Each structure stands twice: as C-alpha cells, then as structure tokens.
Chains A and B, each alone.
Chain A
Amino acid sequence: MKRNTPLITLLTGAVLGVVLLISSMLATPSNKPVSYSAAATAEPVSPAPSSAAPSPAEASSAAPSPAEASSSAPAVTGSSPAYSGTSSPAPAESSAAGSAPAAAPSPSATRTTPTRADYAGRVGGGGGSVAVSVHGNKAIAYVCNGSTVEGWMRGKVENGKLVLTGKNNARLSASYHAGKVSGDVKAHGTDYSFSVSTVSKSSGLYEATARVEGKTIKAGWIVLGDGTQVGSLETDANSDQPVAVTAPTLDVATMTARIGNVVLHAIPVSGVTGTGF
C-alpha cells in the first residue's frame, strides 16, 4: 500500500471535523434570531436552507417587539416614565416610551398582560436560553448557557414589568405581555438581550434538586419547542455564589435525569400551573 494513506485518513477526519464544527457554528446562531440585531444579521449569512427556513418567521415575530416592548409600558401603567428611567436599561426603549402613544401600532391595543404565563427561548446572539414564568404577582426566571453561566432569579411583577434578581448578581429586567417577554438578563457577568415567546406543551423551565454528599445540587433545564434543551447544575445550590456545570440531559418524557447513580426528578417551574412556585 502507499505510505501516505494513513495520513489521508487523518486529514479526512480532520476535514470532516472542521466542516462539522463550522456548520455547527453557522447553524447555531441562525436558528435563534431572537434579538433584533441578530435577526437582522443572521438571515443574510445563514447558508443552509434548512436552518434559514425558520428565520423569516421568527424574525417577523421578533421584529415588532421593540415597538411592542416600548408601547406596552405606557399601555399598562401610567407611571411608565419612572419605570423606563429606572428599570429598563435600553435607551431606545425609554426614549420611545415618551412618543409611544402616537407611535403605538394597532396590535398593541389588543395586547393584555396575563397574570399566569410561561415564556422560554434562546437569548440574542445564541449560546444560551432564558425562561420566565409569571404566576400572579410573582415571577421566576432562569438563564442558562448549558454550562457555567446560569442563574435563578425571583421577584415581583409590577405593572407588566419584571425586575428579578438572584445569586451571583444575576438580574433580569423585562417587560412582558401576552405572547412575548423582552428585556435584558445578566448572569455570571454575561449580559444577554432577549425577546422570547410563550412556550408550548412540554417545553419550558424545569428544575430538580437533590442532596448529594451533604450538598444540595440544583439543576435547571430550559426545553424549547423544537425539543432542544440546555441545562446547568449548581453543585452547591445553597452557597452564596453557586458554581454550575453542564447538567445531565433531562428526559422530558420521564422527567428524570441521572448523574451517576443519582436520579434527579424534575418538576416544571410553570406560572400557568403554579408548580415550582
């Protein structure tokens, strides 16, 4: 045989690996144009027709959200200037709030602010998901990149606005209404903007806790409508600054996940049903 065939084998594998890696990188952001800028840039560069297919639909639903986000604030509260000045960091939003009554698109008139709702989706720019569950005047949110960046946040709902905080200086500020929640979230020093929709059946936010070797571990998973999930696991959830790792895959059918011989039983954190609150 020729002496260089092993080298060809190696190079073939390397090329295959690089191609798969690049297509993963290209496919990941184009599937998630949830922030306005991502929606604008993802479409022209996405090469694969299959991955580009959902983009127009998502982009069109994401595109009106700046107007909705800004117009919903005055729609639901008379004191919205105070809110937009203090709790919404996006300058576009606060400036638009002043002129919102004139600029308000007609769909916003039919928007209502639900008291029970679950939202989940990918954050802008990819690499993570966020889930928000609203139950009455309480809300729980979880942001997670499937690894070390994650954070549980809780807080009160006030006038269609969410300001939720958690450990490790995690913070979420957003406005929400029927069908969509938009805002910014920060965890482990990483900022994300997001605009995500209501979840459908069996998707959404799940959590599981267990005692392992004297410590409480807490896992969180965000399952999206297309079946993809990200999850992280805090190895010492009672710590003031919990550290997280990638969670084992959650089997949504059985609501279980396993780490070694420990079986985690997950429960949905749902504002609609109230479980997990």
Chain B
Amino acid sequence: MTTRQDALPPTRANSTAAKLIVPCLIGALVALALGIYGRVHSPTGIAINIAGFSSPGTVKSWLATGATVFAVVQVVSALVMYGKVPRVSAPSWIGGLHRWSGRIAFLLAVPVAIHCLYALGFQQYSTRVLIHSVLGCLFFGAFTVKMLILPKRDLPGWVLPVVGAVVFTVLVVIWLTSAYWFFSTFGIKR
C-alpha cells in the first residue's frame, strides 16, 4: 500500500498523537489480555497437535521459524519500498509481497501463541522464559497497533517504519528465546 509520507504532513504533532492513541490503547489491551489469560488460565500441558511432527515443541519451533523467515522478507521488502536499498528500484509487486509475507507470518504465529497460552501459560522460571512470555504478549499487541494504523492517512513518515521495526525486533527475540533455543538444545529435528 502507498502509505509512504514523503512530504511533510500538514497536520500538527498533537493530531498525530491523537491518531496513534486509540490503536496503541487497543494494542496494549490485546497484550494485557493475552498476558492475563496466560497467567490466570491453568496450563494444561497439552493442546491439539499437528500431524507429522514428533512433538508440540518441534511444531512450534518450525512454525515460529517460518514466521521469522517471512518477517525477514517483511524487512527487506519494506526497505525496498522505502527506497533504502541502493540501486534497487521498487518493483510493482513489492507491495503485494510485503502484504502477503506479513499475513503469512502472522497466521503462522497464531497457532504457536495459542499453544503457548493454552498449554504452557505465562511463565517466569528463567530469564529466557520470562523474556519470551513478556514479548510473546507484546508481539500481538504491537502487531495490532501496526494493523490499526496502516489505513490511517497523514501520519508522519517515521511512524510505520518504527512500529514495523518494533514488531520485527520483538518477533526475532521471541524466536531466539524459543525456536532457536529449542533447536540448539535438542537438535534440528522434525
């Protein structure tokens, strides 16, 4: 989509804040709701599994890895769209690539999150787990913010890149504290 704002937005700063406050509040509520559910709901230890994998851990690790790969596509396609890659002009399909890689990444992440919330819950028995729990909740809040501000016009040019970078960074840390940890601990297996 063409939400690039090269020209200086004609709006004042406080109207920018006003445009961002509602999406940010909704995103915060999403993150908070996930965290509270994960904390209050007593984890079952199990949830529905996907055929073809040896354990829920491997399923989640591969799904999360897939989401992270598509997230990298997100960053690259965004850089191209914004003309930040030298000597590469944005092809016409870059917007579609960006949108669809994002959708796929998000939809891959949802089953992982549901398994985490339902079977494991919000935990804090080690630093890795605590970071993962906190960021896992924050990710969906941040993604919600990103989706809600995408259609808004007349936002300053820095807003979408900053929010997108936050979403990407959070996802990568989530992946490092789960799938990367899983694969490096138990070996890469299906």
Question: With a CB–CB cut-off of 8 A, which chain A residues contact B114?
Answer: 17, 20-21, 24
A138 to chain B, nearest CB (A): 27
Question: With an 8 A cutoff between CB atoms, is A49 at the interface?
Answer: no
Q: Is the CB of A24 within 8 A of B47?
A: yes
Identity of the chain A residue whose Cβ is nearest the Cβ of B111 in the assembled complex: A20
Q: What total count of A-B pairs have CB within 8 Å? A: 104
B123→A127 contact, CB < 8 A: no
- Bits for A144-156, please: 1 = Cβ < 8 Å to B, else 0: 0111110000000
Offer 24 A-B interface pairs, CB within 8 angstroms, sorted by A: A1-B1, A3-B151, A5-B99, A7-B151, A9-B102, A9-B103, A10-B144, A10-B148, A13-B106, A21-B114, A24-B48, A24-B115, A25-B118, A28-B47, A127-B42, A127-B44, A146-B120, A147-B45, A230-B45, A235-B125, A246-B43, A246-B121, A246-B125, A249-B55
- Shortest C-beta distance, A90 to chain B (Å), equals 24
* Residue B186 is within 8 A (CB to CB) of chain A in the complex: yes
- Assess whether B120 is in contact with A246, with CB atoms less than 8 Å apart: yes
Interface residues of B in 16-71 (CB under 8 A from A): 42-48, 55, 57
Chain A interface (Cβ < 8 Å from any Cβ of B): 1, 3-7, 9-10, 12-13, 16-17, 20-21, 23-25, 27-28, 126-129, 145-149, 227-231, 233, 235, 245-246, 249, 251, 258-260
B46 near A28 (CB under 8 angstroms)?
yes
Which residues does chain B contribute within 8 Å of A249, judged by CB atoms?
55, 57
Q: How many residues of B contact A (CB 8 A)?
A: 41
A9 to B118, alpha carbons, bound, how many Å? 22
A228 in contact with B45 (CB, 8 Å): yes
Interface residues of B in 84-124 (CB under 8 A from A): 95, 99, 102-103, 106-107, 110-111, 113-115, 117-121, 123-124
Are B111 and A259 neighbours in the complex by a CB distance under 8 Å?
Answer: no
- Report B's interface with A, CB cutoff 8 A: 1, 42-48, 55, 57, 95, 99, 102-103, 106-107, 110-111, 113-115, 117-121, 123-128, 143-144, 146-148, 150-151, 185-186
The answer to whether A12 touches B48 (Cβ under 8 A) is: no
On whether the beta carbons of B107 and A12 are closer than 8 Å, the reply is yes
Q: Are B110 and A16 in contact (CB under 8 A)?
A: yes
A221 to B148, CA, bound (A): 43
Least CB separation from A212: chain B residue: B126
Quick check: B125 and A9 within 8 Å, CB to CB?
A: no
Q: Say whether chain B's binding surface is mostly helix, strand, loop, or mixed.
A: helix
Check if B147 sits within 8 Å of A230, measured CB to CB.
no
Apart from A20-B110, A147-B45, A233-B125, what 17 extra A-B contacts exist at CB < 8 Å? A9-B102, A10-B148, A13-B106, A16-B107, A17-B113, A20-B111, A21-B117, A24-B118, A28-B44, A127-B44, A145-B43, A146-B45, A148-B42, A230-B45, A245-B125, A249-B57, A259-B126
Q: CB distance B43 to A146 under 8 Å?
A: yes
User: Within the complex, what minimum Cβ distance (angstroms) separates B81 from chain A?
Assistant: 13
A residues less than 8 Å from B125 (CB atoms): 233, 235, 245-246, 259
Q: How far is the CA of A5 from the CA of B100 in the complex (A)?
A: 11
Asked whether, in the complex, the Cβ of A227 is within 8 Å of the Cβ of B147, the reply is no
B44 touches A9 (CB 8 A): no
Assess the B107–A13 pair: CB atoms within 8 A.
Answer: yes
A6 contacts B151, C-beta separation under 8 Å: yes
Which A residues lie within 8 Å of B127 (CB)? 260
Contacts of A20 in B (CB 8 A): 47-48, 110-111, 114-115
Minimum CB distance partner of A26 in chain B:
B48
The smallest C-beta distance from B159 to any residue of chain A, in angstroms, reads 14
Given contacts A3-B151, A6-B147, A10-B144, contact A21 B118 (CB under 8 A): yes
